[in-house]
Amino acid sequence: MARLIIISNRLPFSVDHDGDQVSIRQSSGGLVSAIKSYFESDAAKNSNITEKIWMGVADFSREDFDREVVPKLDKYDFTALPIFIDKALYKDYYNGFSNSTLWPLFHYFPSVVEYHSHYFEAYSKVNSLFAETLLPILQPDDVIWIHDYQLMLLPGMLRARAPKATIGFFLHIPFPSYEIFRTLPTDWKMNLLRGLMGADLVGFHTYDYVEHFVQSVRMVLGADNSFRSIQYQNRLVKADLFPIGIDYKKFSNAGNEPEVQELRAEVQKNFEGKKIIFSVDRLDYTKGLMDRLIGFEYFLNQHPEWQERVVFMLNVVPSRDDIIAYTRRKRTIEEKVSSINGKFSSISWQPVIYRYMHLPFNELAALYQSADVALITPLRDGMNLVAKEYVASTVNQRGVLILSELAGAASELNEALLVNPTDVQDVSNAIARALAMPIPEQKQRMALMQKRLIDYDVIRWVNDFLDQLSNVKTEQNKQQTK
């Protein structure tokens, strides 16, 4: 019997104030929906987990927590362990080292990377605040699962004070090649890798990320490895791949909801006789929005026969809008949308329908179902759940996925039309091919991808990770008794 402690940068909910009205809102995003789906599953109910704890930074005050959250906690099937952090410190840790240093570097944007020692100091300080919050309540059988690049030092900090603890770590973004990783100052890269090596199991989305990590550990820390087993400071640490899945039924069954059906009918009526190309992404330079628009514009030029007959619904979700690298890009994207529309629109047709907002789930589901083509072309992406959600949502397996070969998801979704996101000709050709693809071919490709997503869904992902974590502990014990 064990307690499962999930640790992520943020808690999975926030507190909204609207005048006197206070409400709790569940956050959206890949990790939250993955873990919530697992918590609600039979697999979790039938497991030996006695209690679920979720630790993360609170984006509400201590007073809000005591007054608003605690009385409603029994609504949640986990115990929340909030960390309250001074705003200036959080900014240097989150906007600073996490999102202006690690995020661009790990997504192969070295020119955007900012190197500031006070960012790294804030990052270390916040990681140690997590450790200090957890250590006093830690029990010997606890299973700790730490998520993502904001907390890479934490496994090592916990290991130093709790040598026998069971600690798993999962990186949701790419682990870059050693040639990129090595550009970090020596002290930082050693600390980051030592931090990760505090875990028993370090998980990644793809084979390549595992290889990159193992090579970096070998080159930077001089650790010995045999494939994915690393021997470090007399302890076995495993690195392995766990490509995150989705809650398949949530998307494949969404079409049964009356509201989703109504929204879908409305979209079909409004765009009768036109094909719909759809995309939804956070506003992030890694998502390749500009290249995507240029690719679509090139397509319209190359294929005038599709003018008036196709619309591109480009949905952009606000994100990190207090970092300059993000706000600048919003303006250039909006200028490009308006220049394409200015150039090609007619009285009865506007080629790009651009929205800058977070869509309610039912609307997202209706758009997934209505789309003839999903155009998902990040310049780099750890996995990309939108691609998987689209595949699960298609009605009667009709629809075509165009996917960047630089997204982690490309290594599983081989039946998509894979493109190089910066190659306009390639993107344009793929759009033309997708729009003309015969229905039997669409179905055949979708069926193969759907099968894979059904087989390895989000529940399998969690179970697989936790099982492997427990196996590593068993192997370590065997090594020690030898």
* Residues identified as active-site: 172, 381
- Residue 254, amino acid: A
Residue 111: CB minimum distance to ligand GDG, A: 20
- Give the phi and the psi of residue 8 in degrees, each rounded to 5: -140, 165
Binding mask 282-311 for ligand GDG (x = CB under 6 A): x-----------------------------
Which residue bears the tokens 């080159």?
A: 219
* Minimum CB distance to ligand GDG smaller for 209 or for 299: 209
- What lies within 8 Å, CB to CB, of 392 at 6+ separation is 246, 248, 251, 252, 450, 453
Residue 204: CB minimum distance to ligand GDG, A: 10
Options 47-55, 68-76, 213-221, 378-386: segment touching ligand GDG (CB under 6 A): 378-386
Residue 175: CB minimum distance to ligand GDG, A: 12
| Cα–Cα–Cα angle for 68, 72, 74, rounded to 5 degrees | 150
Are 458 and 38 in contact by the 8 Å Cβ rule? The answer is: yes
30 binds ligand GDG (CB under 6 A): yes
Which residue bears the tokens 């949502």?
A: 393
* Minimum CB distance to ligand GDG smaller for 166 or for 206: 206
31 to 50, contacts with ligand GDG by CB under 6 A? 31, 33
CB hemisphere CA count around 395 (13 angstroms): 14
Residue 381: CB minimum distance to ligand GDG, A: 4
The residue from 100, 384, 429, 450 that contacts ligand GDG (CB under 6 A) is 384
Query: 320: phi > 0 → left, psi -120 to 50 → alpha, else beta; which?
Result: left
* Minimum CB distance to ligand GDG smaller for 108 or for 361: 361
Residue 267: CB minimum distance to ligand GDG, A: 15
* Minimum CB distance to ligand GDG smaller for 274 or for 358: 358
173 binds ligand GDG (CB under 6 A): yes
385 binds ligand GDG (CB under 6 A): yes
Options 296-304, 353-361, 423-431, 452-460: segment touching ligand GDG (CB under 6 A): 353-361
146 binds ligand GDG (CB under 6 A): no
Sheet with 201-204, edge to edge strand ranges: 79-83, 49-57, 2-10, 143-147, 166-170, 201-204, 235-241, 229-232, 224-226
Residue 293: CB minimum distance to ligand GDG, A: 18
172 binds ligand GDG (CB under 6 A): yes
329 binds ligand GDG (CB under 6 A): no
Bridge pairing between strands 417-419 and 400-404: parallel
The residue from 155, 203, 351, 382 that contacts ligand GDG (CB under 6 A) is 382
Binding mask 238-277 for ligand GDG (x = CB under 6 A): ------x---------------------------------
Residue 244: CB minimum distance to ligand GDG, A: 4
* Minimum CB distance to ligand GDG smaller for 293 or for 386: 386
